[in-house]
Amino acid sequence: MAMHAQEANLWQKRFAFLQLEWSDVFDGSRKESLEKEVLCGLKPNSASLTILQIVSYGGIEFPNWVGDPSFLQLTEVLIHGCKNCTSLPPLGQLPSLKKLFIKDMDEVKAMGSELIGAGLSFLSLETLVLENMKRLEEWSTNIGIVSFPCLKELVVSNCPNLVQVSPEALPSLNILEVSECDSGVLRSLVKVASGVLTLKIESISGLNDVVWRGVTEFLGAVEYLTIKNCNEIRYLWESMDSKALIRLMYLDVQRCQNLVRLGEKEEGDSCWSNAITTLRTLKIEKCEIMEHCRCPNNIEELEISDCPSITSVSFLTTAGGQKLKFLSIKRCEKLLEKELILGGDNTRVLVNKTSMPMLQSVDIITWPNLTTIIELSQLIHLTYLRIDGCPNMESFPDHELPNLTSLTYLVIYNCPSADASFPRGFWPPKLQTLVIGGLKKPISEWGPQNFPTSLVNLALVCGGSEEDDVSRCSQLSHLLPSSLTTLGIYNFKKLKSVSVGLQHLTSLQHLVLWGCPKMKHLPDLLLPSLLSLTIDECPKLEGRCSRRRGSYWSRISHIPCIRINEE
């Protein structure tokens, strides 16, 4: 094999990209010395190579050509799955190397002088990824030697035994990602990378409140912070240093199972409100025991989802009202507020004594305690409104909808207690998309709705009750304005046909039929304007529309895009 490798004469061929890959089976049958001879014989031409990938190489060490500074054009290197290697080649000597990926190196315990080489190292490197280095214990650089002066992005993932990290200063580092590592790795890196703008951490062992407070002292430049699966943190800012997180604009917290609150102060204590005044976006997801969310001042985007213990969300009173533009609350079943007052100045529950006149998007999903939504008319900037899965909502101010002059997207679904008179034909003047159904009043009893001519996308969804279902499309035809370009009919268990009721939709381009198990008839001539037809969970119709034996194929074959059960 070594002779064959030499006969390939790679050193005479001008490759820009070269991937050398072995079998990924390491069962003891491989000969390390032979594999090194093979890799020796595969030395490429140094004058042209820009990208090198070595995958599943079985030798204990690399030949001298890997990392040789004569590869002047080499900008990207991947060393992956070389599970027998105990050390890394001197990649620090490659003068043009910008991206380095080292992954799944099971036997490497230390990264030091053998990686860096002699003298200045990694002078051009901008991205470094260390991933799945399960036995790596030490990462060090030579004291006094300049290393990584241009490094902008560093990812350290799944290095559970890494405890000694002592690189010199990382003056250019902007993005730092650390996951499945000890907290000491995170502490060591933030100390030498004070200019980090984006920090992402996940599954950091030993990261309790005391350690986290020490980490935040070095995060004065951080603007974007993501924290996942850090289950020892209870408070994100607790007696913080005055210079900590002073530029934070974006915060995303996911699956932190012991997070109690953002800050340690109780409601009523004025100190909590002063923290993180720069924050604009706050996202909290799947934090199991968090009960209260007290939002910092000046926040513009709030998203809370899948927090089963949260009972209240509160904002500060600010002069001129809140700056909130995007509000999303999803699947927070214990949220106690029964009244959602979005635009009024007398707000007293969700947004204590304040208003949110700048709202552009509101997304409310699965809020069982919500019974009333009021004060919509002042939301002149609102473009998106979704109310879904609020079984006890009795009152919805549909008479205020005409005042929402910017609203283009509206979803009202699965609110079976909503006012029996709703809908009554009041709609925003610029409405383009409407998804509606599952209300107290059956769809067959809605009557003409006087939709605006701007409405082009309509989805009618049966709520699942016997009264809400229909058996003929003609029972829905009065709800289908001629302006429609997209029509979706969902979950009508009794509906057998759409052969009548679509003829007047001369602009229709997209038709979706979903969850109608009895449906088996299409019109003799489907509209020539159709560009797509989607049929899902309609078993009696699916066979008739089959390309091979379907009796309806001749009727639908002219449609450019046909999707049946996601195929």
Which of 6-10, 176-180, 322-326, 525-529 has maximum average pLDDT? 176-180
More confident residue, 547 or 207: 207
Q: What average pLDDT does the segment 274-285 reach?
A: 84
- Across residues 91-100, what is the average pLDDT? 95
Q: Within a domain: residue 495?
A: yes
Is residue 486 domain-resident? yes
The pLDDT value given to residue 272: 44
Q: pTM score > 0.85 for this model?
A: yes
Indicate the SS3 state at residue 39. helix
Tokens linked to 21: 């890959």
pLDDT at 351 over 50: no
> CA-CA distance, 145 to 128, in Å (whole number)?
18
The whole-number average pLDDT for the span 481-506 is 88
- The 10 Å Cβ neighbour count of residue 371 is 16
CA distance 62 to 97: 18
Whole-number pLDDT of residue 243: 72
Neighbours of 48 (CB within 10 A): 16
Mean pLDDT value of segment 346-356: 47
For 309-323, what is the mean pLDDT? 72
Q: What is the mean pLDDT of residues 191-203?
A: 95
Q: What is the pLDDT of residue 321?
A: 55
Residue 502 lies in a domain: yes
pLDDT, tens digit, 9 for 90 and up, residues 284-297: 999 999 988 888 77
For residues 84 and 383, what is the distance between their CA atoms, to the nearest angstrom? 58
pLDDT level of residue 89 (50, 70, 90 thresholds): very high
Per-residue pLDDT reduced to its tens digit, 435-475: 999 999 888 888 888 899 999 999 999 987 777 788 888 78
pLDDT score, position 477: 84
Q: What is the structure's pLDDT at 535?
A: 93
Distance CA 83, CA 102 (A): 12
Domain annotation covers residue 241? no
- Assess whether pLDDT exceeds 80 at residue 242: no
| Cβ neighbours for 556, distance < 8 A, ≥ 6 positions apart | 522, 526, 533, 545, 562
Q: Read off the pLDDT of residues 403-431 as tens digits, 9 standing for 90 and up.
A: 999 999 999 999 999 888 888 889 999 99
Q: What is the pLDDT of residue 346?
A: 42
Q: What is the 3-state secondary structure (H, E, C) of 431-478?
A: CCEEEEEEECCCHHHCCCCCCCCCCCEEEEECCCCCCCCCCCHHHCHH
- Per the structure, the count of domains in the chain is 1
Task: Write down the pLDDT at residue 418.
Answer: 87
Q: What is the β-pairing status of strands 110-111 and 138-140?
A: parallel
Band (11; pLDDT cuts 50, 70, 90) = low
Is the pLDDT score of 7 beyond 60?
Answer: no
Q: Which residue bears the tokens 């902007």?
A: 174
Query: Which pLDDT band holds residue 348 (cuts at 50, 70, 90)?
Result: very low
User: What pLDDT, on a 0 to 100 scale, did the predictor assign at position 500?
Assistant: 67
Per-residue pLDDT band for 273 (boundaries 50, 70, 90) equals very low
Instruction: Compute the half-sphere exposure of residue 256: CA atoms within 13 Å on the CB side of its CA.
Output: 27
Is the per-residue pLDDT at 267 higher than 60? no
Helix (H, G, I), strand (E, B) or coil at 366: coil
Per cent of the chain over pLDDT 70 is 90
* pLDDT at position 72 over 90: yes
Give the per-residue pLDDT at 407: 96
> What average pLDDT is seen over the chain?
87
Instruction: State the DSSP code for 56.
Output: S
Containing structural domain, residue 555: 470-567
Sign of CA dihedral 69, 72, 75, 80: negative
Model confidence at 223, in pLDDT bands (50, 70, 90)? very high
The verdict on residue 178 lying in a domain is no
pLDDT tens column, 159-173: 999 988 888 789 999
Total number of residues shown for the chain = 567
Virtual torsion, Cα 550, 556, 562, 563, nearest 10 deg: -40
